[in-house]
């Protein structure tokens, strides 16, 4: 006889899948892609290794899903800040960098996974796309700044790439753990913001 899944059943399945993705994300944030074996992820989610394949056709597919979700969250947040309608392009740029950096500092493991941790090729490809989206967002604001006469003429794409690279590099080292006294996060943020503005060529604020 036709066997039809009940609504509750479907919900339960989706919840299981959801839980799997969340646990996988956590594992990846904690130990990196390389150490996040199917077994480790399944254990974290409290299911058997084989059950992973009920939800995803392969480990790579799960990894990509994990990356996409986390990356999209970040891109969305950044987009919201950069495209907000209040403040000059330069002010938005500053806020964007701060948000980018603050979020990374608040979830270092995840930031490291998104930005730098060694990963299998499929995730690597996803990461390239992630970076492109970041570039596009920053490039947009830089362009607005140029058009508004607030920033000097420059290749927005290059500046945008530099901004993500700069912030990433500054963050990743502290992220990777080992660093002398560990600089105060707020100082780091202020320093980064100033750096980003110089990078884009914004004039130092004139006194009020």
Partner DNA sequence: GAATGAAGTGAACCACTGTTCAGAGCATCA
Partner DNA sequence: TGATGCTCTGAACAGTGGTTCACTTCATTC
Neighbours of 33 (CB within 10 A): 17
Near DNA by CB under 7 A: residue from 26, 30, 32, 53: 53
| Nearest CA-CA partner of 60 in 70, 51, 52, 48 | 52
Phi, psi of 125 (to 5 degrees): -65, -45
Pick from 23, 25, 30, 39 the residue near DNA by CB under 7 A.
Answer: 39
Run of H or E residues at 142: helix 121-147
Residue 167 class from Cβ within 10 Å (0-12 exposed, 13-18 middle, 19+ buried)? buried
In the list DNA, its own copies, none, the entry touching 149 (Cβ below 5 to 8 angstroms by class) is none
Of the candidate residues 31, 59, 103, 170, the single one contacting DNA (CB under 7 A): 59
What tokens appear for 61 in the block?
A: 């597919």
Residues lying near its own copies in the complex (CB under 8 A) are found at: 34, 118-121, 124, 128, 131-132, 135, 152, 154-155, 158-159, 161-170, 173, 176, 178, 187-188, 191-192, 194-195, 198-201, 204
Instruction: Name the residues that contact DNA, by CB under 7 A.
Output: 1-6, 8-9, 12-13, 16, 37-39, 46-51, 53-54, 58-60
């Amino acid at each position: 006889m036709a066997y039809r899944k009940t609504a509750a059943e479907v919900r339960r399945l989706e919840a299981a899948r959801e839980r799997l993705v969340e646990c996988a994300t956590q594992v990846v944030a904690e130990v990196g892609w390389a150490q996040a074996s199917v077994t480790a992820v399944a254990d974290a989610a409290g299911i058997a290794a084989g059950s992973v394949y009920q939800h995803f056709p392969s480990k790579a597919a799960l990894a990509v899903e994990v990356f996409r979700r986390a990356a999209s969250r970040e891109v969305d947040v950044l987009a919201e800040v950069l495209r907000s309608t209040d403040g000059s392009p330069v002010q938005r740029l500053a806020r964007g960098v701060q948000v980018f950096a603050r979020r990374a500092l608040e979830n270092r493991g995840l930031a490291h996974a998104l930005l730098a941790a060694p990963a299998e090729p499929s995730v690597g490809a996803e990461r390239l796309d992630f970076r492109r989206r970041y570039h596009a967002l920053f490039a947009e604001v830089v362009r607005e700044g140029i058009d508004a006469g607030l920033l000097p003429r420059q290749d927005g794409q290059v500046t945008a790439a530099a901004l993500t690279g700069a912030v990433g590099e500054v963050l990743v080292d502290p992220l990777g753990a080992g660093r002398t006294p560990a600089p105060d996060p707020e100082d780091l943020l202020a320093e980064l913001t100033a750096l980003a503005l110089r990078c884009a060529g914004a004039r130092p604020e004139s006194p009020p």
